[in-house]
Amino acid sequence: MLSLGYALFLEDIVKMGALLRHPATWVVVALGAIVCAVLLYLFQPWRVFTTVEVNEAVPGAAAPRQPVSREAAEPVEPVAAPKTLAEGDFISHEHETSGVAKVLELEGGERVLRIEDFHTSDGPDLRVWLSDQPVREGTDGWFNLDDGKVVELGELKGNKGNANYAIPASADLDSLTSVVIWCRRFSVSFGAATLA
């Protein structure tokens, strides 16, 4: 003779089996799986735990070539150090962000944005922008940096370290006075720096 508790347990299992065989259950499970997949794609929560470190050298400051032998040595012209046109410190917006942004002019006249000692969170679809909007502290600065003129310099190469981004010759640096780490997927600034 089965105990009453065991009989009730078997009855619950039979009811659950009937529920699992019902088509509506499978529709709900399929919709739940789709919603979870979309949310994982959008938010990419694993990126909270990832770090992409980049360590590029200062452009135009390469060490001179070493001659193959003393007899074949030719005079090597020294490479001029890049000229700093503007710089500023990053402030945090949506994510804790630190580092220095510098606009450098190379010997040939090319301009480069250099980000040094940089650190922010990894995130989906992060871009490096120059903006004509002012950098504001706190949540007021999270969303305004895409309101005016923006020049995108490319994807953020790494969320830690030192990186260089070519600035197009057409970019007007007199009006583009902010550097922004912009999350394009959620239209928010991770951090920004005023160039002075």
**pLDDT tens digits, 126-173:** 999 999 999 999 888 888 888 899 999 999 999 999 999 999 999 999
Q: What is the mean pLDDT of the chain?
A: 84
182 pLDDT tier (thresholds 50, 70, 90) = very high
What's the CA gap between 188 and 123, in Å, rounded? 11
Higher pLDDT, 1 or 44: 44
Does residue 120 have a pLDDT over 90?
yes
What's the CA gap between 81 and 60, in Å, rounded? 7
pLDDT given at position 74: 62
CA atoms within 13 A on the CB side of 71: 0
List alpha helices for 22-110, DSSP H: 23-43
8 Å CB contact between 50 and 122: yes
22 pLDDT tier (thresholds 50, 70, 90) = confident
pLDDT given at position 76: 59
pLDDT given at position 133: 94
Would you identify the CATH topology of the domain 80-194? Immunoglobulin-like (2.60.40)
What's the CA gap between 62 and 59, in Å, rounded? 7
Each domain of the chain, given as residue ranges in start order, spans 4-43, 80-194
Q: Which of 29-43, 57-71, 112-126, 137-151 has the lowest mean pLDDT?
A: 57-71
What's the CA gap between 21 and 26, in Å, rounded? 8
- pTM of this structure: 0.72
